[in-house]
Amino acid sequence: MTDRHNHYLLKRLERINAIGVALSAERDNNRLLEMILLGAKEITNADGGTLYTITDDKHLKFEIMSNKTLNIAMGGTTGKDIPFLPLPLYLEDGSPNLSTVAAYATLNDKTVNIENAYQAQDFDFTGTRKFDEKTGYHSQSFLTIPMKNHEAEVIGVLQLINAMDTETQQIIPFSAANQSLVESLASQAAVAMTNHNLIEGLKGLFEAFIELIAEAIDQKSPYTGGHCRRVPELTMLLAQAAIDTKTGPLKDFSLNEKEFYELKIAGWLHDCGKVTTPESVMDKPTKLSAIFDRIQLVDQRFELLKKQAECELLKKQVEALCKGEQGNGKQADFFVLQSEFEVFKLKCNDDRDFLRKSNFGGESMTLEDQQRVRDIAAITILNADGDAEPFLSENEVYNLNIARGTLTGEEREVINNHIVVTISMLESLPYPKALKRVPEYACGHHERMDGKGYPKGLTREQMSVPARVMGIADIFEALTSKDRPYKKAKTLSESLHILGKMNLDHHIDPDLFDIFVREKIYLKYAQEFLEPEQIDDVDEMKIPGYQP
């Protein structure tokens, strides 16, 4: 009998160790709590049990309930809510709730082992008896154990009901040996719960901090507002579509849960280097913008030019009139001069309107328009000292003749440098193993498939699929963005046409581009983030480079 008992005890010890190992490895909170309760039931052969956690407002919350006889399984991974209100640790008058077993065990940090609830005098089992009357159950033996973490704080309560004799299946009290085993399990479980909560808390803080950085960058510039938030959303949509595809070159591509999370973090951090980009460059809405838009000075200069021309006209008209009175000239010259001045004013107004239009960046500026800027610049105007000087400065000509957008080459270098800063920032962080590829994913969104991108000039073969996914997401968000200062918001058709051209130009990954169109990722994104007027009918067969 002793050998049999020792063998049985050894088996339970082995089981509790196995459960302890499993608890340490579990990352899902519901499965963790469920594992604790079911493990405790198993080693004590208990018929039922409940696991409570302590809430911030000092209540015991029902997390898991299980009863074999009544076929009850609620909470945890079951998806069934427990229809019982949390148990208060303190009564309305502030006194401790010592009549409820679970509350008593919590407040006194003490295991309570009750052989027969119907004979117990110290605790109120009225609710239990009503439950038994309603269900026909007989709640007899109770083992209630507080769960303490490594700092000796009670973080939950494990309560088992009705220990069953392994041979007769009769209800028996929980033995001292079983109590000791469950106390050991409860201690391991509390540490596992604490570690899980700590990991989840740090993970939540980490994600919140990353999103805070992204939000700060978006808030920094009214013209890219929401970019850092939208790119990860689009990245996840396309990545999931690539994972789900069962045909084509990417049919074997997959990401597990950790890898998918890694890509999500990279999406949030892909532009973190923009924290160092000057607002004067990032927010440059027009070509002549500096501290203010210098087009205003050009407008004033045109008015001054007209006034100077008018003064010159008046001088010549006076001379013409004088010569006419003396018979040495023609009075008609007066009206010719007036007519020439009116023509000059019209030309000034036309040139002013042209420069105003040129000041707004577009997709391209013709060579003819660039020459016209230089011709206007060559017009002379008198300065404060009465000396003639070019109407536009070299810097103004240089800025107004920007062929695409509003940035000069030097300013574009400053913008492009954000990815270099991003790489430097991200590669300096001490990542855990599961996030090691964040810099690679985040820092490749300006590379091209033909190796002509920046900053590293990587080719398609040198880039991972997730990095290529992010490249498409970054471009499509920018194309459809309504916030950019140098262009109006494009429709889906316009954006997909440009994206298709970029595909033909070996700018983006062709296989991912096909998935992006075929699975209508563009439409899923548009329905959540774009304006209704941007969502037009798309004829996919007209998209350049698309292979259905």
Residues 174-185: what's their mean pLDDT? 87
Whether residue 214 is contained in a domain is answered as: no
Whether residue 433 is contained in a domain is answered as: yes
In sequence order, which residues have a C-beta less than 8 Å from that of residue 504 and are 6 or more positions away?
Answer: 544, 545
Whether residue 300 is contained in a domain is answered as: yes
- Number of domains observed in the structure of the chain: 3
CATH number of the CATH domain containing 155? 3.30.450.40
CA atoms of 23 and 438, how far apart (whole Å):
29
Structural domain harbouring 440: 221-283+410-542
Whether residue 30 is contained in a domain is answered as: yes
Whether residue 290 is contained in a domain is answered as: no
**Percent of the chain scored above 90 by pLDDT?**
47
CA atoms of 423 and 439, how far apart (whole Å):
6
Residues 352 and 246 in one domain: no
Beta carbons of 26 and 38 less than 8 angstroms apart: no
Residues 239 and 160 in one domain: no
- Please check the confidence at residue 325 and state whether its pLDDT lies above 70: no
Give residue 22's pLDDT: 65
Whether residue 208 is contained in a domain is answered as: no
Ramachandran region, residue 148 (left: φ > 0; alpha: ψ -120 to 50; beta: rest): beta
E strand intervals along 309-382: 380-382
Beta carbons of 465 and 250 less than 8 angstroms apart: yes
pLDDT confidence of 26, banded at 50, 70, 90?
low
Domain boundary among 376, 404, 432: 404
In sequence order, which residues have a C-beta less than 8 Å from that of residue 119 and are 6 or more positions away?
Answer: none
- Please check the confidence at residue 488 and state whether its pLDDT lies above 80: no
CA atoms of 342 and 66, how far apart (whole Å):
95
Residues 468 and 320 in one domain: no
Query: Closest Cα partner for 138 from 166, 113, 170?
Result: 170
Residues 41-51: what's their mean pLDDT? 91
CA atoms of 502 and 492, how far apart (whole Å):
15
pLDDT digits (tens, 9 = 90+) for 225-280: 577 789 999 999 999 999 999 999 999 999 999 999 999 999 988 887 777 777 66
Place of tokens 């990279």: 266
Residues 110 and 146 in one domain: yes
pLDDT digits (tens, 9 = 90+) for 491-542: 999 999 999 999 999 999 999 999 999 999 999 999 999 989 999 999 999 9
- Could you say which DSSP state residue 99 is in? S
pLDDT confidence of 460, banded at 50, 70, 90?
very high
Residues 375 and 420 in one domain: no
Residues 59 and 183 in one domain: yes
Residues 375 and 473 in one domain: no
Domain boundary among 169, 199, 229: 199
CA atoms of 142 and 42, how far apart (whole Å):
15
Give residue 384's pLDDT: 79
Neighbours of 230 (CB within 10 A): 24
CATH number of the CATH domain containing 523? 1.10.3210.10
Domain boundary among 382, 404, 426: 404
CA atoms of 383 and 348, how far apart (whole Å):
18
Residues 28 and 84 in one domain: yes
CA distances for 238 relative to 263, 312, 472, 514, 520, angstroms: 11, 67, 9, 11, 10
Residues 353-362: what's their mean pLDDT? 89
- Please check the confidence at residue 217 and state whether its pLDDT lies above 50: yes
CA atoms of 79 and 85, how far apart (whole Å):
17
pLDDT digits (tens, 9 = 90+) for 126-138: 888 998 999 999 9
pLDDT digits (tens, 9 = 90+) for 65-79: 999 999 999 998 888
Asked if the peptide bond before residue 455 counts as cis, ω within 30 degrees of 0, the response is: yes
Whether residue 212 is contained in a domain is answered as: no
Residues 375 and 481 in one domain: no
Q: CA 120: distance to chain centroid?
A: 56
Residue type, 167: E
Q: Report the run of H or E that residue 255 belongs to, with start and end.
A: none
CA atoms of 477 and 475, how far apart (whole Å):
5
Ramachandran region, residue 163 (left: φ > 0; alpha: ψ -120 to 50; beta: rest): beta
- Please check the confidence at residue 178 and state whether its pLDDT lies above 80: yes
Greater confidence (96 vs 5) lies with 96
Residues 422 and 322 in one domain: no
3-state SS class at 62: strand
Residues 12-41: what's their mean pLDDT? 73
Computed over every residue of the chain, the mean pLDDT equals 86
Residues 232 and 185 in one domain: no
Whether residue 237 is contained in a domain is answered as: yes
Residues 94 and 59 in one domain: yes
- Please check the confidence at residue 412 and state whether its pLDDT lies above 90: no
Give residue 391's pLDDT: 92
Q: Which two tokens stand for residue 272?
A: 């973190």
pLDDT digits (tens, 9 = 90+) for 107-161: 999 999 999 999 888 898 888 899 899 999 999 999 999 988 877 889 899 999 9
